[in-house]
Structure 1
Amino acid sequence: MVRRLRSLTVALALLLATVVQAQVTTSSMSGRVTDAEGAVIGSTVIATHEPSGTTYGTVTNMEGRFNLNGMRVGGPYTVEVSYIGYGTSTTTNITLSLGENYALNVLLSEEATSLDEIVVTALRTKFTTERTGAVTNITNDQIVNLPTVNRSIMDVTRLSPYGGNGMSFGGTDGRTANFTVDGANFNNNFGLSDALPGGGNPISIEAIEELQVVIAPYDVRQTNFIGGGVNAITKSGTNTFRASAYTYHRNENMRGDVVKEQLIEGARERDRNTTYGFTVGGPIIKNKLFFFVNAEMAKTPTVVNRWRPSTNGVAVPESYISRTTEGDLKRVSDFVRNEYGYETGSYTDFPADESNRKILARLDWNITNQHRLALRYNYTKNLAWRSPNASSMDGGTRMSEARMSQASMSFANSMYSQDNLVHSFSFDLNSRLSDNLSNQFLAT
């Protein structure tokens, strides 16, 4: 018996630890229903997410208060409050923000005769007593309308007044931040590259519904960071089929190279990116089961090495010509091929293209009015070429391309491919166990 109790205690502790470290993926609503004399006990509150038909219901307690947790982010919502002998109060145009509670107080009027329902249009306030610290919520409308060159999450998070370069918040190193998507960790825990995996762009912004940047929350679920935490949720399907296809392109000709009639050298060095993608979402079973899919591919021809060998052994640094000659490189290449069967690769043409591929698929299932499940899978593969490390070279003769300089050259096979492969899965079950008790089971 003692052993069973110990095992149960350990299991409970692990469960609580998991809950404490979980990230926010939903929203909530609470408020109070009153009449001219005070609280209305037992009134029915029904909130309906109009795009999907998802409903959330409860009744008010002895103080006329109600709580709805685990709600889908966004909207618009319509909330109906009714009680026998009172006119129905309807509040429309409610939008819920990620990780925040929406406060809704309703005043019911007694109906002595048959009355039309009362319709209230909600106007969201920027101030709330439910905030849990310094928070910036970035809606889908803001994401769509924000100019972004790199189409990266890090461009969007700069809307936070605490945001800096990359994933830096409050002046801290970006690697101390925490980034989650649908509660799943998307940090670059291993290091060696950007603060985020997948070449710094692990998920398409076309798939993001809303972002939340938290700096100093006292919500125990918001953990595992020093500078700031970024919570993102992905889009869901609705009762309406929607599809889109898009492409974006940029190149060096879109940049200016003249300031006050002065030509800026190198301002238009080769810099190109082309992105293709599509989204599609809708109902599988209306009001019950929904899907959303996003796929995106980006190609970026880059310049990893600008240095080229000379023909006469004379270095011209301003033109990136090395004193190492083509003849010397050819003799070395021929020697190792003939003696050891090793191919050095080119010494005039170096691989540099970077590619990024992303796929996201999500299912939302309204199992019952008390249980709702969201499944999401994300795949990202980023391939980029890197020059060899330059720590063994003389910094005085090296400009930027590692072992390529005015004093030396290396072969294409000395470069390496840096591949980032991300498979991410989240299982998010939100259950309403009673009017005062709800639960979230999140596995990633």
Structure 2
Amino acid sequence: MIRILLKTLLLGALIISSTPVLRGQGSTTSSMNGTITDSNGAAIPGATVIAVHQPTNAQFGNVTDATGNYRLSNMNVGGPYTITISFVGFESFIQAGVYLDLGQTFRLDTELSVDVTQLEAVEIIATTGDIFDGNRSAPETVVNDYTIQQLPTVSRDLNDFTRLTPLANTSVGIDGAISFGGLNNRYNSVFIDGAATNDYFGLASNGTNGGQTGISPISIDGIEQFQVVLAPYDVRQGGLAGAGISAVTRTGSNELEGSVWYLVGNEGLAGKTPTDTGPRKKLADFSNKTYGFRLGGPIIKNKLFFFALAEIQRDETPQPFALNDYLGDADAATFDQIADWVKTPGQITGSDGYEPGEWRQTSNKLEGEKFMLNLDWNISQKHKLAVRYRYTKALQVGPDRSTNTEANFSNSGQTFPSIANSGSIELKSNFSNSSNSLILGITTVRDDREVTGQPFPSIFPLMTERTVQPSFLEANRFLMPTW
């Protein structure tokens, strides 16, 4: 059954690769290469190289060619790995504690000795991200799990970490937008586990699905590593003129582990308003709450693993109306009178009354739910299968903000629901002289907009001569008997 499945998937890969339209899939794996020689510097052909991913016991192996070179492809990111290099008649070489970054090609050259000798302790110091590295395909920045856990994040969004790239610019005048190399953020490509996560409609400032509501496409606690590359010549990464942003999510291991979190922010944890004149004021009441859990572990030890995550977000941001700064003649009693008038049935022809909502302070609300499920199957030493599914739902209620020339009731805004489903299947295969990574992904996004209240004309009280521009045309004036 497994052989039939693999043959079917490989045949599908050949059919897909024969089509004239090619799209980037982002980076989801790491690799390793090097040269094996003897003590005289002569190449050792046929030496066995085995890399074991300790958390899952997944094995990646190959043998050296006639020139002593080897390559291991489609390796899991992270680690630790234990590398074993052996050949008949030579001492085996073992190196533990090797960690791989997303998209990295780790080089390990080894000299095997024919003599059985007691070796002195050797200290090996490795530095990731060196500027001059022949295994790199482009300028890149890798953010690993340790960095994600250590760095502070306010929005819990991808851009809190991708801005670590030296060519990143966050001062582009748009909330949540980030550009690379001076290009508009809409020229970036974003991939999560190889599935496209771009906002292809092009209106979200953060460039990802659901971004118009203010929600991030994935929980930060589900991310294993980020990679940001600029102008790559890797065939797997394309469809970008700015930056290629790739992220891989966490996987289960042989140990059952998980965590829970509860994050809260409110006016008591925030500073007072900055001002050059007058006393600083405390912020209006607001509430940001995020809570969730993640759990990963084995289904079949050394063979099949799972990882699940769920997160709920509840944010409420106040939009108070500064009546003292209002340039119109209307006062609080006038606005209350307007509200009572439109609520009364029969005041407006054909209307049973309309509920305009509150005018003193409106609130921008965001409700989000995120769910993720990952399955990883070590089919054999040559084949690994990964299945990914992500669900992100957001509901944003955004009343129009009042200004010193315009007062808005809470039902004057819009309700914006957004639902994104994303799934991918990746088959990683390593053969003696070649490797293949087949990724099949699908992403569906449903964005909608609805008015918060019932359809009703906007009401603008008459302005005084201090107004530079009238708030409405005289022909569209809505006359009411009381004012």
TM-score by length of 1: 0.85
Moved more, 216-225 or 180-189: 216-225
Q: Match of 1:176? A: 187
Q: Which amino acid aligns with 1:136?
A: T
Q: Which amino acid aligns with 2:164?
A: L
Q: Match of 2:477? A: none
Deviation at 1:117, TM superposition (A): 9.1
Q: Which amino acid aligns with 2:288?
A: N
Q: 1:174 to 1:341 in 2, by over 3 A?
A: same
Q: Match of 2:321? A: 307
Equivalences, count: 411
1:142-195 deviation per Cα after TM superposition (whole angstroms, max 9, x unaligned):
000001111111111111111222332123222221111001111111234332
Q: Match of 1:35? A: 38
- From 407, 410, 413, the equivalent of 2:411 is 413
Kept after mapping to 2: 8 A contact 1:88/1:118: no
Q: Which amino acid aligns with 2:390?
A: N
Q: Match of 1:374? A: 386
Q: 1:202 to 1:64 in 2, by over 3 A?
A: same
Q: Which amino acid aligns with 1:356?
A: G
Deviation at 1:252, TM superposition (A): 2.5
Deviation at 1:257, TM superposition (A): 2.8
1:78-134 deviation per Cα after TM superposition (whole angstroms, max 9, x unaligned):
1101111011110111111111211010100003x5x67999775432332211111
Counterparts of 1:267 and 1:14, CA distance in 2: 63
Q: Match of 1:298? A: 313
- From 151, 155, 164, the equivalent of 2:156 is 151
Q: Match of 1:312? A: none
Kept after mapping to 2: 8 A contact 1:31/1:66: yes
Q: Does 2:69 align with 1:65?
A: yes
Q: Match of 1:385? A: 397
Report the 3-state secondary structure (helix = DSSP H, G, I; strand = E; otherwise coil) of the residue aligned with 1:144. helix
In structure 2, runs of 5+ residues without a counterpart are 1-11, 171-176, 442-483
1:291-326 deviation per Cα after TM superposition (whole angstroms, max 9, x unaligned):
1111111111112x4238xxxxxx632699955522
Q: Does 2:445 align with 1:441?
A: no
Counterparts of 1:230 and 1:190, CA distance in 2: 18
Q: 1:430 to 1:337 in 2, by over 3 A?
A: farther
Q: Which amino acid aligns with 2:396?
A: A
Deviation at 1:200, TM superposition (A): 4.1
What aligned pairs does 1:336-355 form with structure 2 within 5 A after superposition? 339-341=350-352, 343-348=354-359, 350=362, 352-355=364-367
Q: 1:289 to 1:125 in 2, by over 3 A?
A: same
Q: 1:262 to 1:341 in 2, by over 3 A?
A: closer
1:32-71 deviation per Cα after TM superposition (whole angstroms, max 9, x unaligned):
1100230011011110011111101111100011111000
What aligned pairs does 1:40-439 form with structure 2 within 5 A after superposition? 40-111=44-115, 123-126=125-128, 127=130, 128-165=133-170, 166-194=177-205, 195-198=207-210, 199-257=214-272, 265=280, 268-303=283-318, 305-307=319-321, 316-317=324-325, 323=331, 324-334=334-344, 335=346, 339-341=350-352, 343-348=354-359, 350=362, 352-387=364-399, 401=401, 404-406=402-404, 408-432=406-430, 434-439=431-436
Q: 1:208 to 1:257 in 2, by over 3 A?
A: same
Q: Match of 2:474? A: none
Report the 3-state secondary structure (helix = DSSP H, G, I; strand = E; otherwise coil) of the residue aligned with 1:189. coil
Kept after mapping to 2: 8 A contact 1:306/1:320: no
Counterparts of 1:321 and 1:289, CA distance in 2: 70
Counterparts of 1:197 and 1:320, CA distance in 2: 40
Q: Match of 2:28? A: 25
Q: 1:415 to 1:131 in 2, by over 3 A?
A: same
Deviation at 1:436, TM superposition (A): 1.4
Deviation at 1:22, TM superposition (A): 2.1
1:230-251 deviation per Cα after TM superposition (whole angstroms, max 9, x unaligned):
1000000111110111111122
Counterparts of 1:15 and 1:414, CA distance in 2: 49
Report the 3-state secondary structure (helix = DSSP H, G, I; strand = E; otherwise coil) of the residue aligned with 1:424. strand
Counterparts of 2:249 and 2:284, CA distance in 1: 36
Kept after mapping to 1: 8 A contact 2:385/2:428: yes
Counterparts of 2:347 and 2:296, CA distance in 1: 56
Counterparts of 1:320 and 1:208, CA distance in 2: 51
Moved more, 230-239 or 127-136: 127-136
Q: 1:70 to 1:15 in 2, by over 3 A?
A: farther
Deviation at 1:328, TM superposition (A): 2.3
Counterparts of 2:17 and 2:169, CA distance in 1: 37
Q: Percent identity?
A: 34
Counterparts of 2:39 and 2:226, CA distance in 1: 40
Kept after mapping to 1: 8 A contact 2:339/2:356: no
Kept after mapping to 2: 8 A contact 1:282/1:291: yes
Report the 3-state secondary structure (helix = DSSP H, G, I; strand = E; otherwise coil) of the residue aligned with 2:357. coil
Kept after mapping to 2: 8 A contact 1:143/1:156: yes
Q: Match of 1:3? A: none
Counterparts of 1:41 and 1:109, CA distance in 2: 15
Q: 1:379 to 1:319 in 2, by over 3 A?
A: farther
Q: Which amino acid aligns with 1:307?
A: F
Kept after mapping to 1: 8 A contact 2:189/2:239: yes
Counterparts of 2:78 and 2:388, CA distance in 1: 18
Kept after mapping to 2: 8 A contact 1:291/1:361: yes
Q: Which amino acid aligns with 1:316?
A: N
Deviation at 1:226, TM superposition (A): 2.0
Q: Which amino acid aligns with 2:423?
A: F
Report the 3-state secondary structure (helix = DSSP H, G, I; strand = E; otherwise coil) of the residue aligned with 1:39. coil
Q: Which amino acid aligns with 1:177?
A: N
